Homo-oligomer: A and B are copies of this chain.
């Protein structure tokens, strides 16, 4: 089993280090790991946020454990040299088209949400976001218009792109509560019309899943009013970016949420994927031992399950985390005073 570890910027290295301690504690046989640079640190060391060697490391691995990228030092760089290009580049280079972002409250942590506890408690949803298309990866540029300089970006989806992510969404719904909400803006966008028609087509293969459609503005409204209504939300790259962050905020404990980005490549043990906390690099608290490593540790659990076929170990980690979360060990993000390594220690103890 080969694992590439990309700690990245800000709190990325700190939280990834705790996940690696957990990994070491599992003493998996025949595991090789290697570390690569991504983001601002990669730009500083190699002149590019996503060096060729990093991509090659990822290609050679069964899975990637990713920390976070983002560095205020790089704010004034042209976009192609900004840290965010590392994650966008990995998604496209590695064909990671499916982003899975579960958002569910931890019992006992409902108070961390801005939503009323009885509403926060009901959240248990999965956002399935397409990650290789949409306005993210279309042609883009600047041109001259009658109104001066004009920025433009091409948005599109074709049937093949929608079909493969729709299958991911429907399969996920089958394993959950059997409901899928496809989110688009089909009353305005042609991209969304093809999206919707293709999703309806794919739905025929999944008679056991209840499908409905929602416009993105209404979805953003419903996510506040009654987020408990959602099981799987299937959506494109841009709307998924917005809605998945909104969903995380509704849960309230962002330091606890992990995500998976999966491709089509099958490894010996599962599906190749990249796993990362949904929180960012949080440069304001970097290096102070204040970051909560739970999301990174849960990213490792997802990695073990989906890419390395290690369901038992994934479950062990998740149970250990649940114990710690239910205890009085809490990071600053949850109103506590425990440090990054104290939380890591607690998970190791519980393991």
Contacts and interface: CB of A to CB of B under 8 A. Distances in A.
A93 interface: no
A119 interface: yes
A245 B226 contact: no
* Copies of this chain in the oligomer: 2
Chain A, interface size category, equals 35 or more
B187 A82 contact: yes
Nearest to A189: B153
A329 B187 CA distance: 36
19 contacts: A114-B115, A114-B224, A135-B155, A135-B189, A138-B152, A147-B161, A151-B156, A151-B193, A152-B154, A152-B156, A153-B155, A153-B156, A155-B155, A216-B241, A216-B242, A217-B242, A220-B246, A220-B249, A224-B246
B191 A153 contact: yes
Interface in A242-265: 242-246, 248-250, 254
A91 to B, nearest CB: 12
Interface string A105-135: 0000000001110010000000000000001
Those 4 A-B pairs whose CB atoms lie nearest each other, nearest first: A147-B160, A151-B194, A148-B159, A147-B158
Contacts of A66: none
A146 interface: yes
Contacts of A142: 190, 193-194
Contact of A160 (B148, B222, B245): B148
B249 A190 contact: no
Per DSSP, chain A at the interface is helix
Contacts of A148: 158-160
Contact of A114 (B116, B141, B159): B116
A152 B139 CA distance: 11
Interface in A177-204: 185, 187-195
Contacts of A206: none
